Amino acid sequence: MPYNISVVKGRSYCPSCKKRIRWFDNIPLLSFIFLKAKCRDCSAQIDLKYFLVELISALNFVLIFYLFGFSLTTILFFILSICFIIIFFIDMEHFIIPNELTFTLMIIGFLKSFDPNLNQYLFPNYLNSLIGGVMGYSIIWFIIFAYKKLRNKEGMGLGDAKLLSAIGFWFGWISIPFILFFSSFAALILAVPSLLNKSKNMSSQIPFGPYIILGCVLYLFLLEQIIKYLN
């Protein structure tokens, strides 16, 4: 997406030598291992991120299917998780979150809230979904606005606001405070070593999208405990 390269037109090719990748060199996980992480034609190193994305996606699909079996919930989490994986790696490398993904997640998140047969603990009704979407966007927008007024420069980006809004549409307004707490805590923990060794400073650009995603994953894993605590 960041390079505007179509996945529909044309075949996969090596970014180094531009040669087309043969089908047997394009098998997820296995081809990376058999090729020893090198292009067959030019021997350029294949980035480890390709293997990681394929591995995380595979493990993720297996876990979701194990938890929810053949169900609409499984399909919904397949869609959400693959979008999360794409957003995670794009934001880490390019510091952007594509609107095509966040807007799609917003629409799906809101539309699914009209299905009364879905798990109400996981997915809220349409009113809670709508409030969650508005609340998620508004909180990040206010942080951006306040930071710009105080420091006279940009802090976070609206991509983060759209991502948190999409999550709000999926899991309702009650999820937003927990996800913000978890994501901020994760960002702080992971940023501290970089600040201590001075590889980054307080003004360094840090992609917050991946931390929002980590916060959402933590929220979902701890949802049962959260519900018990709130009750």
pLDDT tens digits, one per residue of 144-203: 888 788 877 766 778 999 999 999 999 999 999 999 999 999 888 877 777 666 666 555
Full DSSP string of the chain:
-TT---SSSS--B-TTT-PBPPGGG-STTHHHHHTTTB-TTT-PBPPHHHHHHHHHHHHHHHHHHHHH-SSHHHHHHHHHHHHHHHHHHHHHHHS---HHHHHHHHHHHHHHTT-TTS-TTTS--HHHHHHHHHHHHHHHHHHHHHHHHHHSS--S-HHHHHHHHHHHHHH-TTHHHHHHHHHHHHHHHHHHHHHHTTSS-TTS----HHHHHHHHHHHHHTHHHHHHHH-
pTM as predicted: 0.89
Rounded average pLDDT over 138-148: 88
Domain of residue 172 covers 48-230
Same domain, 82 and 187: yes
Total count of domains within the chain:
2
Domain identity same for 153 and 209 = yes
Q: Are residues 175 and 202 in the same domain?
A: yes
